[in-house]
């Protein structure tokens, strides 16, 4: 059975042109004028683009004493409702747990996915077992990215020596490290001080994580990556301090990628002040929202290409879950949603305002991500042979974002009331129509795990456990005279 997307304008990361697209067996088989097939999807006055890829989501994630409420079923339905056709989730071993056992848990959770997905592996502890298992993770399990939390002290955080060792291991295996860049020691000490002073409300969350803690950690991770000889991906870049470190590294010739979230582009720190407790707690995420200057820096980075992609860090908790922290902001589960709204918001507030071109929109929501995560051109492309993960984008469809009508399983939406114009008329996952205007046609389990191959080994690295740095030993004829 073949399908033809007819009458649309194809928009890729570098081209805009009128053409039909023919699909068979889940792949694009022909691009050209006047195509016909068994089924036709009308794309008149629409843009045909690669489906969004969200490189950063946490579905049914065990975190801060609970689990994020959107699981692979509701999370991937929310994704396709907003034109996202692939998500990358974080496989999170408990400290001491085998990485391979953690993958089994994630494999079990993800069988309900309605669109394709992949995993990053988190390094939550460090010893020889982890070092050894990383090879299997990369070579057999198809996971070529390792996440390091520089915050969440006493829980997920890794120290610099562990990070340096893991980064070197990544370099050797052709994998790329990711960092959640916040100085966890400083955050913990500021949290303790704020709580001791009686600042226990959600605004304490923002006060305890100023841009400086992110800037410091980003600089540190970049320097450690440079010493280890690996590229680096900085998740949820939220402020100028972090962006500045990334710009500088790029200028020096390093492969360092920054990922702003749609939440940080759209929402600012006023969400934490002079609002009721629930309103602010629902917006507690790490890093917290920033002021307008930081938002301008992020938009500028997307335009200039110093920031590479837009993600969500979708980690959705209900109001009831947020209230775990009612007398202590450090216990409010960190995380917000956005999977469903990322593309429509970025289109409305990025493309329609002239801040981004349509081609830049495709780059930062899909193609750049596919390239950086070694998924291109299977994903992120409108090319013959690519997976038919496509959106037929109707720039005239509009709605007002509201929790009442969302697909996500939580009881509020941090973008409530925002108007968007530009929505998918069709979303296709490997050729299957999973959304037609507002009607979801998803199938649980249609989504498949996508393996990602190692990167070409471009960096020199050491290969054995604890053989970290081997300095040259200098033989000298004698000891220096005392007093020198
Ligand atoms: N930040 C969040 O807000 N939630 C999940 C994990 C993270 O780093
Ligand atoms: Zn994070
Ligand atoms: Zn995250
Ligand atoms: Zn309108």
Residues 32-60 have pLDDT tens digits of 999 999 999 999 999 999 999 999 999 99
- Strand 39-42 with 432-436, pairing: unpaired
CA 354 to ligand 1 centroid distance, Å: 30
Is the distance from the beta carbon of residue 180 to the nearest atom of ligand 1 less than 6 Å? yes
Q: For ligand 2, a single-atom ion, which residues have Cβ within 5 Å?
A: 180
Is the distance from the beta carbon of residue 335 to the nearest atom of ligand 1 less than 6 Å? yes
E-strand spans in 82-180?
A: 84-91, 116-122, 145-149, 176-180
- For 116, phi then psi, to 5°, come to -65, 155
Instruction: Look at residue 457 in the predicted model and tell me its pLDDT.
Output: 56
> pLDDT tens digits for 229-238?
899 999 999 9
Nearest-CA residue for atom 2 of ligand 1 = 335
- What number of other Cβ atoms are within 10 A of residue 84's Cβ? 31
Give the pair of three-digit tokens for residue 49. Answer: 């683009």
Of the residues 57, 59, 61, 63, which should be mutated to test ligand 1's pocket, given the most ligand atoms within 8 Å of the CB?
63
Nearest ligand 1 atom to alpha carbon 180: 8
CA 421 to ligand 4 centroid distance, Å: 6
- Predicted TM-score of the model (pTM): 0.95
Nearest-CA residue for atom 8 of ligand 1 = 286
The mean pLDDT of 105-110, rounded to a whole number, is: 98
Nearest-CA residue for atom 5 of ligand 1 = 335
User: Of residues 478 and 170, which shows the higher confidence score?
Assistant: 170
| Contact by Cβ (8 Å): 41, 62 | no
Is the distance from the beta carbon of residue 238 to the nearest atom of ligand 1 less than 6 Å? no
Is the distance from the beta carbon of residue 286 to the nearest atom of ligand 1 less than 6 Å? yes
Residue 390 pairs with which residues in a beta bridge? 50, 428
CA 473 to ligand 2 centroid distance, Å: 40
The mean pLDDT of 293-305, rounded to a whole number, is: 98
* pLDDT category of residue 253 using cuts at 50, 70 and 90: confident
Instruction: Look at residue 455 in the predicted model and tell me its pLDDT.
Output: 86
What does the buried/exposed string (b/e) look like for 56-67 if buried means 16 or more CB atoms within 10 Å of the residue's CB? bbbbbbebbeeb
The rounded mean pLDDT for the chain is: 95
Q: Rounded to whole angstroms, what are the CA distances from 158 to 26, 183, 463?
A: 41, 11, 21
SS3 of the chain: helix, strand, coil, percent, to 5: 35, 20, 45
* pLDDT category of residue 458 using cuts at 50, 70 and 90: low
> pLDDT tens digits for 115-146?
999 999 999 999 999 999 999 999 999 999 99
| Contact by Cβ (8 Å): 81, 440 | yes
CA 153 to ligand 2 centroid distance, Å: 13
Closest CA to 51 of 428, 374, 397, 473: 428
Nearest ligand 1 atom to alpha carbon 284: 3
Is the distance from the beta carbon of residue 334 to the nearest atom of ligand 1 less than 6 Å? yes
pLDDT above 90 as % of the chain: 92
CA 149 to ligand 2 centroid distance, Å: 7
- Strand 16-18 with 176-180, pairing: unpaired
pLDDT at residue 460 tops 70: no
The mean pLDDT of 306-330, rounded to a whole number, is: 98
Nearest ligand 1 atom to alpha carbon 151: 8
| Contact by Cβ (8 Å): 370, 235 | no
**Residue entry with tokens 């007002």:** 400
Give the pair of three-digit tokens for residue 247. Answer: 């710009």
Q: How far, in Å, CA of 241 to CA of 93, rounded? A: 30
Is the distance from the beta carbon of residue 58 to the nearest atom of ligand 1 less than 6 Å? yes
Instruction: Look at residue 479 in the predicted model and tell me its pLDDT.
Output: 72
pLDDT at residue 155 tops 50: yes
Instruction: Look at residue 477 in the predicted model and tell me its pLDDT.
Output: 81
CA 154 to ligand 2 centroid distance, Å: 15
pLDDT at residue 462 tops 50: no
pLDDT at residue 473 tops 80: no
Nearest-CA residue for atom 7 of ligand 1 = 286
pLDDT above 70 as % of the chain: 96
Is the distance from the beta carbon of residue 49 to the nearest atom of ligand 1 less than 6 Å? no
Of the residues 68, 264, 335, which should be mutated to test ligand 1's pocket, given the most ligand atoms within 8 Å of the CB?
335
Q: How far, in Å, CA of 244 to CA of 61, rounded? A: 31
- What number of other Cβ atoms are within 10 A of residue 69's Cβ? 23
pLDDT at residue 203 tops 60: yes
Is the distance from the beta carbon of residue 285 to the nearest atom of ligand 1 less than 6 Å? yes
The contacts of residue 292 (CB under 8 Å, 6+ apart) are 268
pLDDT at residue 456 tops 90: no
């Amino acid at each position: 059975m073949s399908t033809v997307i007819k009458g649309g304008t194809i928009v890729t990361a570098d081209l805009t042109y009128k053409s039909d697209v023919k699909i068979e067996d889940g792949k694009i088989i022909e691009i050209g004028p006047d195509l016909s097939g068994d089924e036709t999807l009308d794309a008149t006055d629409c843009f045909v683009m690669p489906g969004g890829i969200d490189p950063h989501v946490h579905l049914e994630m065990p975190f801060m004493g609970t689990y994020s409420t959107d699981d692979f079923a509701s999370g991937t339905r929310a994704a396709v409702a907003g034109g996202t056709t692939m998500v990358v989730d974080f496989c999170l071993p408990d400290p001491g747990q085998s990485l391979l056992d953690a993958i089994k848990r994630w494999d079990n959770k993800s069988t309900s996915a309605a669109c394709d997905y992949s995993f990053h592996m988190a390094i939550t502890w460090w010893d020889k077992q982890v070092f050894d298992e990383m090879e299997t993770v990369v070579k057999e399990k198809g996971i070529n990215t390792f996440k390091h939390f520089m915050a969440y002290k006493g829980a997920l955080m890794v120290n610099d020596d562990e990070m340096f060792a893991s980064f070197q291991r990544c370099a050797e295996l052709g994998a790329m490290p990711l960092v959640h860049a916040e100085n966890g020691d400083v955050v913990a000490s500021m949290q303790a001080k704020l709580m001791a002073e009686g600042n226990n409300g959600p605004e304490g969350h923002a006060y305890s994580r100023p841009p400086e803690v992110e800037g410091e950690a980003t600089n540190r991770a970049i320097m450690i990556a440079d010493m280890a000889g690996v590229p680096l991906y900085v998740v949820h870049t939220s402020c100028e301090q972090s962006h500045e470190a990334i710009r500088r590294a790029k200028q020096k010739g390093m492969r360092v990628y920054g990922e702003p979230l749609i939440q940080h582009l759209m929402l600012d720190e006023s969400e934490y002040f002079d609002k009721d407790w629930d309103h602010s707690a629902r917006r507690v995420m790490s890093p917290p929202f920033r002021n307008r200057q930081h938002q301008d820096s992020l938009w500028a980075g997307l335009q200039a290409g110093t920031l590479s992609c837009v993600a969500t860090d979708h980690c959705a908790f209900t109001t009831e879950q947020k209230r775990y922290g009612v007398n202590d902001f450090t216990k409010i589960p960190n995380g917000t949603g956005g999977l469903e709204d990322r593309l429509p918001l970025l289109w409305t507030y990025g493309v329609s305002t002239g801040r981004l071109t349509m081609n830049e929109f495709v780059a930062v929501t899909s193609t750049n991500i596919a390239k950086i995560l070694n998924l291109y051109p299977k994903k992120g492309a409108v090319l013959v042979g690519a997976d038919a993960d496509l959106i037929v984008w109707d720039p005239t469809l509009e709605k007002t974002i509201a929790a009442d009508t969302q697909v996500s399983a939580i009881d509020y939406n941090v973008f409530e009331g925002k108007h968007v114009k530009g929505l998918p008329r069709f979303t296709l996952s490997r050729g299957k129509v999973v959304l037609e205007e507002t009607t979801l046609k998803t199938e649980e389990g249609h989504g498949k795990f996508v393996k990602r191959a190692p990167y070409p080994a471009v960096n020199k690295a050491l290969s054995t456990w604890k053989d970290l740095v081997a300095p040259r030993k200098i033989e000298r004829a004698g000891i220096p005279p005392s007093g020198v």
